[in-house]
């Protein structure tokens, strides 16, 4: 029997690298049983592009938000534009947003203000929030700060995308009512700590993603430069092995979870 469909819960199909062979990317996605994909935004301009993709392809769904590394100094104008976009009802989520302390491109205080504003928009429009977190190696300050913001916003729901923390934080975000999404990093040879974190997340809170065009999973890591939605099948397979569960069950569960969180139709 064929395996259940998958949903790539996070892929940046608006990137220029997908333009030359976009139809082929979608075809390969279907061949691997990836029925749908959520396309997040990193700015208002990208949100408009994501919406156009969603309007043109019934299996793609757009989110609207500003990446923490791209928050402009004049965030009030960006926030007003995001609010207007979300009011249209064309988007399934708010994001991606969050905190990124790995780079120094955006002041952490501005990042936090933007993240809190995104959370307020998610509550206003009853949408899930897509959260990006990145710390410097061996430090979990951004993880702590994100958890604090979520805890301060009762009723907020969403997903920690491309989770790269440890089991302690996986448990913490589950306790806060969030889903946890794993990318191709889960398949890396040095990803044992992340695989241990995956084991503490209940099956009904797990999502899978590619974060394409980044993070090509094994077995294609180092062989192919650009990740694409089809490769989420490789991450789902490793997730099933990690959990010592049937691959079909894990695929079915992560798909159901993603559709429920983002209110996607059954394919």
Is the Cβ–Cβ distance between 210 and 229 less than 8 Å? yes
Is residue 128 a part of any domain in this protein? yes
pTM over 0.85: yes
Is residue 205 a part of any domain in this protein? yes
**Calpha distance 59→36 (Å, rounded):** 5
Angle between helices 108-124 and 75-86 (to 10 degrees): 20
Q: Report how many domains make up the chain.
A: 1
CATH number at residue 174: 3.20.20.140
Q: What is the model's pLDDT at position 140?
A: 85
Is the Cβ–Cβ distance between 136 and 99 less than 8 Å? no
Residue 173, C-beta contacts closer than 8 angstroms, at least 6 positions apart: 147, 150, 160, 163, 180
Kindly report, residue by residue over 141-178, the tens digit of the pLDDT: 999 999 999 999 999 999 999 999 999 999 999 999 99
Q: What is the mean pLDDT of the chain?
A: 96
Is residue 1 a part of any domain in this protein? no
- Residue ranges making up the domain that contains 232: 6-262
Is the Cβ–Cβ distance between 18 and 8 less than 8 Å? no
Alpha helices (runs of H) in 15-166, residue ranges in sequence order: 22-31, 44-56, 75-86, 108-124, 141-151
Kindly report, residue by residue over 36-77, the tens digit of the pLDDT: 999 999 999 999 999 999 999 999 999 999 999 999 999 999
Is residue 58 a part of any domain in this protein? yes
Is residue 267 a part of any domain in this protein? no
Q: What is the model's pLDDT at position 102?
A: 87
Kindly report, residue by residue over 177-199, the tens digit of the pLDDT: 999 999 999 999 999 999 999 99
């Amino acid at each position: 029997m064929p395996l259940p469909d998958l949903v790539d819960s996070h892929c940046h199909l608006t990137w220029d690298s997908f333009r030359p062979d976009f139809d082929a990317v979608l075809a390969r996605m279907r061949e691997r049983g990836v029925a749908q994909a959520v396309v997040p935004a990193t700015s208002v301009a990208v949100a408009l592009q994501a919406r156009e993709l969603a309007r043109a392809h019934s299996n793609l769904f757009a989110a609207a938000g500003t990446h923490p590394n791209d928050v402009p100094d004049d965030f009030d104008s960006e926030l007003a534009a995001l609010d207007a976009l979300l009011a249209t009802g064309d988007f399934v989520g708010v994001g991606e947003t969050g905190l990124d302390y790995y780079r120094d491109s955006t002041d952490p205080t501005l990042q936090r203000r933007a993240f809190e504003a995104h959370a307020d928009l998610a509550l206003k429009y009853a949408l899930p929030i897509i959260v990006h977190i990145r710390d410097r190696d061996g430090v979990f300050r951004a993880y702590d700060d994100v958890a604090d913001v979520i805890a301060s916003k009762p009723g907020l729901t969403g997903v920690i995308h491309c989770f790269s923390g440890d089991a302690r934080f996986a448990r913490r975000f589950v306790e806060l009512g969030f889903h946890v999404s794993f990318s191709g990093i889960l398949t890396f040879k040095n990803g044992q700590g992340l695989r241990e974190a995956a084991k503490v997340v209940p099956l009904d809170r797990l999502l899978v993603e590619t974060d394409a065009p980044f993070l090509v999973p094994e077995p294609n890591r180092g062989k192919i430069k650009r990740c694409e939605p089809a490769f989420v099948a490789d991450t789902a397979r490793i997730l099933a092995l990690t959990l010592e569960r049937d691959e079909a069950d894990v695929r079915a569960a992560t798909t159901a979870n993603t559709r429920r969180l983002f209110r996607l139709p059954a394919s």
